[in-house]
Chains A and B, each alone.
Chain A
Amino acid sequence: MNVWLIGATVLLAGLVPCGWVVARGRELDGVVAVELASTLVTLVLLLLAEGFHRSSYFTVPVVLAALSFVGTLIFVRLLGDRRL
């Protein structure tokens, strides 16, 4: 277990408050929490890729960083048009 894997494991704890806001907050609060959660997961994957010393694993956070933007933007457009 190196420092990269320890950092990834500690960072995963940050998903708990995001999940709490998604579960307890309003819809737009949940979207904001999903934004933060996607950033956290991207960083966790980056830390894991370096921790395992696999260059090919670095593709995953790059793709996730782009796709999470698109996914969350769809949620924002969807909820922005609705009267909540």
Chain B
Amino acid sequence: MTVDVLIALGVAAELACCVGLVATRTAIDRLHYAGAATTVGPALVAAAVCVEEGLFTTNGLNAVVVAVLLAVLGAGLATATARAIRLHERGTLEPSATEREQAS
């Protein structure tokens, strides 16, 4: 029962991110959903595997490794992508005068 709920939540989280990808218009907005998909869904699926098999088993540890890899590498990839999008749209990574005013 617990495994079913965890899998359902993990799959639902990933599908929600897919819907968000289509629903938003700008690349930065879409990147938020791609980044969210690397954290919530994999963690829930890995938790389901660990509940089914046990944490300190080959399958359980492999699932945890996948979830951690996706979370850590996904965050790095999202940062690199955001930099590329910003450079493409603004030509610089420096904040504009308007953005500085809004931040202060």
Contacts and interface: CB of A to CB of B under 8 A. Distances in A.
Question: Contact size class for B?
Answer: 35 or more
B49 A50 contact: yes
Q: Which of A18, A35, A49, A59 has the most CB of B within 10 A?
A: A35
Interface of B: 3-4, 7-8, 10-11, 14-15, 17-19, 21-22, 27, 30-31, 33-34, 37-38, 41-42, 45-46, 48-49, 52-53, 58-59, 62-63, 65-66, 69-70, 73-74, 76-78, 80-81, 83-85, 87-88
A47 B6 CA distance: 12
Nearest to B8: A7
Interface of A: 3-4, 7, 10-11, 13-14, 16-18, 20-21, 25-26, 28-29, 31-33, 35-36, 39-40, 42-43, 46-47, 49-50, 55, 58-59, 61-62, 65-66, 69, 72-73, 76-77, 79-80, 83-84
Contacts, number: 143
